Amino acid sequence: MHYGSGTITRCRDVLASEFQFCSDHNTTRFLKRVIHAENPDFIAFTGDNIFGSSTPDAAESLFKAFGPAMESGLPWAAVLGNHDQESSMNREELMSFISLMDYSVSQINPSTNDLTSPTEDGMMTKIDGFGNYDLQVHGAPGSILANSSVLNLFFLDSGTRAVFQGIRTYDWIKDSQLRWLLQVSQELQEQKQDPLHLTDATPLNKPPALAFFHIPIPEMPQLFYKEIVGEFQEGVACSRVNSGVLETLVSIGDVKAVFLGHDHKNDFCGNLRGIWFCYGGGFGYHGYGKAGWPRRARIIQAELQKGKNSWMGVERIKTWKRLDDEKMSKIDEQILWDQQLI
């Protein structure tokens, strides 16, 4: 969203005819329009939620940026980008604040329940970054999977900037984060379903997972030469360090798609080794974009399988985008994963 200070924060990269009255309020209006159009169950924010250098008060900016999500009463979660901490809060303070906001299910970092190593104050002390956590989506109320996870959501802190071998570069997801992801994914895949409701006919499919972080991985430029859904309009701004994120995701097997921010003029989905990597495209009006190319939001839909007597696990995951144009146009609908096609 790149939210600044509200009315006084002007828009970037909009048509001359739109500029005079354009501000952060256009971002707020767009978020409200998306929520109204899609009536979602959950909202995920993929970083650079506020543009730290454009606001002297990070807390005030966060309240304004996430205001429509809180007003909706929907559960929502966020990770940090590379600009959030450029105001009056550091990254730990930002995630702590976000985790305490109304209806937020964000977490600062994993609790001790997710870890094998000893920790202090119930918080993991040996994981890099802030905003590494997982959320479990349970089955339909009253169904045989009501007390079991049917979809797992992983959130990771991809950092800000770093210096590698004397060269400035974007940050990367570290080994400690990948070890945690490997561990929690394995535990979730081994999780037993509710024994009181299991029958011989109950499929024991492992639940699929989705991942959310801000900075793309170094393999993503390869997608310029592959078939994609959406537009590839700028170079991938990733780290010079390849920490093995793709290898880890392939090895754990449950992550079917990854959702990213960072590169505002890219809104495509492309497949790397069986996993979809999807940009949302620029959402906020104070972030850079492309004049005449509407701001946009990515929608994700997880569809449940209908069993003989009960709703079952996730059968299919789809995505599309909504444009902030007159008609709230819906474009580029595609299937990311289908249980029947495995």
Angle at which helices 58-65 and 91-99 cross, to 10°? 40
Residue 193, token pair as written in the block: 């379903």
Phi, psi of 324 (to 5 degrees): -85, 60
In Å, what is the CA distance from 231 to each residue of 93, 218, 284, 323, 324? 35, 18, 18, 14, 16
Tens-digit pLDDT profile for residues 177-214: 999 999 999 999 887 655 455 553 455 579 999 999 99
| Per-residue pLDDT at 200 | 39
Q: CA triplet 145, 146, 147: central angle to 5 degrees?
A: 90
Nearest alpha carbon to residue 85 among 14, 11, 27, 171: 171
Bridge-partner residues for 135, per DSSP? Answer: 153
What structural domains does the chain harbor?
24-110+127-189+204-295 (3.60.21.10)
Q: Which residues of 212-223 are buried (b: 16+ CB within 10 A; e: fewer)?
A: bbbbbbbbbeeb
Tens-digit pLDDT profile for residues 140-170: 999 999 999 999 999 999 999 999 999 999 9
Residue 228, token pair as written in the block: 């994609």
Q: How far is CA 233 from the centre of its chain?
A: 21
What ranges make up the beta strands (E) of 15-88?
43-46, 76-79
Task: For the chain, 342 residues long, give each residue's pLDDT as a single digit of tens.
Answer: 999 999 999 999 999 999 999 999 999 999 999 999 999 999 999 999 999 899 999 999 999 999 999 999 999 999 999 999 999 999 999 999 999 999 999 999 997 555 555 444 555 458 999 999 999 999 999 999 999 999 999 999 999 999 999 999 999 999 999 999 999 999 998 876 554 555 534 555 799 999 999 999 999 999 999 999 999 999 999 999 999 999 999 999 999 999 999 999 999 999 999 999 999 999 999 999 999 999 999 999 999 999 999 999 999 999 999 999 999 999 999 999 999 887
- Please answer whether residues 217 and 277 qualify as being in contact, where contact means their C-beta atoms are separated by less than 8 angstroms: yes
Burial of 63 (C-beta count, 10 Å sphere; 0-12/13-18/19+) = middle
Predicted TM-score of the model (pTM): 0.94
What pairing do the DSSP bridges indicate for beta strands 269-272 and 209-212? unpaired
Q: CA triplet 109, 205, 75: central angle to 5 degrees?
A: 40
How far apart are the C-alpha atoms of 311 and 146, rounded to whole Å?
9
Bridge-partner residues for 76, per DSSP? Answer: 43, 104
Give the strand order in the sheet containing 311-323.
296-306, 311-323, 330-338
Q: CA triplet 205, 208, 211: central angle to 5 degrees?
A: 165
| Per-residue pLDDT at 70 | 98
